[in-house]
Amino acid sequence: MLSSKNTVALPESGIIVRRTGKYNYVYKVLRAFRNEKGQPTNTRKLIGRLNADGDRLVPNDSYYELYGPDTNTEFTPEVQSDVSVGVPLLMENILTRLGAKKVLEEVFGSRRACEVVTAASYMASEGCVFEYVSDWCERSMLGGSPLSPQKASSLFASVTHDERMKFFKGWVTANAQHDYLAYDVTSFSSYAEGVKDLEWGYNRDGEKLPQFNLGCYLSQERRMPMFYVTYPGSIVDKAHFPYMMAYNDELGIGDDIVFILDKGFCATPNVNLMHSKGIHYIMSVDARHKTTLAAIDSVRDEIHLLQNMIGKGLYAVKVRSRFYGETSDMHVYYNHELVEPQRCDLIKLVENTENELAQLKEITSKQLKRYSRFFDIKTNDDKILSFERNYEKINAAAKNNGIFCILTNTSKSSLEVLSIYRNKDTIEKGFDDVKNHLDMKRIRAHTEATISGKVFCAFIGLIVASEMANGLSEYNATHKERTLSKRGLVWELEKIKVYITPNGRRLLNPLTKKQRELLETFKISEADVKAYISNKN
């Protein structure tokens, strides 16, 4: 652990100083070598940070492991120190108020639950690189369960599958009744080796790395993550769907839940499964599927009629028939505002395809099939003789511009179905939080157990980040002249400090109006802050 109360002389050689955030960190070079490309590189270990004057080292435990006791240690007199308490206060308050901390304590016990909360709070405020977690704990925590990088790794590796499932069951039971659950999948890349779920597949972030997939349920009503499961990165979404649904009974998800799904899950076996299990769903479909095209053609002449208007420029007709092997409702929508943008996109696609064709002298059978979608092409011995646009095909492709369809086995109206489906952006925002706010786009762990535990703590951090977003939505709606992002919220709350006198007395720095308003948004009063700093040991 770093302690600013003592410093040592900087080693005379073999060190590197790197600035991260507001501190200059000092590393001991363990080995210098050239990599496979002949570039100079090294392996190094963090041994502390520079003090405020930049002339001495504030050592961590690794310093003493490498250099032994230092007789030139200078101990700073205990005059007065300060701790920034706003961020951990908010994080712990959110998890307590939502009931997540109670479930964690029931599953992990008090000590490990506190460590999970610390790890999740760090990730929700700083990201997923745990190299600096000791420093964060020192400057941000009053008591609690401080972590070091090594202790965090041990915590991650200790989280078992059974513990995760017990948490999910308790969390879902408390929060996902009579709700709409959006289900979607994202992927995470990693350089780790020997992890069974890391496989090559469709990488949503465009990274040329193996990955594992993460399927997640999010509550649309509470705008909160409920459950996740990881699986090999080579498995496509629709193929894993039955395995995901198999968890519903274990989680206690009943027939009062409606699943919101995108067209990536739409396949006859999956629709059959949901009907046989009594699972209610609202799901977008591929507009090019033959049954969807049949539904569109059946209402094409009437969908524009005024009696079918459900909103400004928006029309809908419900078609009840047999789709994907089951009797259900296909809601066909027409939005005239989408027509021109889609027609322009189509023409741009035709133009780009035409430019590609113009560059070709020879053409394969596979290319011929692709380019014949919009063009008549004359060839001889695989050589292109001529080509021209086929407007009959182009107009056919434009025929359904402005039209989209949603399939459901609920009895809801077209307007209700569309409104519910449009709220599905909850899950996209959740994935964005995991990958960007929590910095989990690429997993920085190297064993299967550590990765599993780290993803679980990130899930707890996502609960915090989601509630931060919910609160900020309310705050920003009433403070449009000074809106805040989640990062801005963290920066503002880091200014809430407690000063500790030599005799151990804790003095709260006066809160600003903005800080009081932000805390009140999350149902935290100034009295709650004072109670928090008094009760932390």
Task: Specify the pLDDT at position 126.
Answer: 85
Task: Specify the pLDDT at position 184.
Answer: 86
CB neighbour list of residue 79: distance below 8 Å, 6 or more residues apart? 502
Task: Tell me the per-residue pLDDT of 139-175, one tens digit each, with 9 for 90 and over.
Answer: 888 777 789 999 999 999 999 999 999 999 999 998 8
Lookup: tokens for 172: 């879902």
pTM greater than the 0.85 cutoff: no
Task: Specify the pLDDT at position 78.
Answer: 43
Pairing outcome for strands 506-508 and 375-380? unpaired
The candidate with the shortest Cα–Cα distance to 116, out of 143, 144, 83, is 144
Task: Specify the pLDDT at position 31.
Answer: 84
The candidate with the shortest Cα–Cα distance to 15, out of 71, 61, 56, 70, is 56
Buried b (16+ CB within 10 A) or exposed e, 301-314: eebeeeebebeeeb
CB neighbour list of residue 323: distance below 8 Å, 6 or more residues apart? 271, 285, 291, 292, 295, 330, 407
Lookup: tokens for 184: 């979607």
* CA distance linking residue 19 with residue 54, whole number of Å: 12
**Where do the domains of the chain lie?**
6-77, 286-421
Residues of the chain short of pLDDT 70, as ranges, are 1-6, 69-80, 190-209, 426-446, 537
**Region of residue 80 (phi > 0: left; psi between -120 and 50: alpha; otherwise: beta):** beta
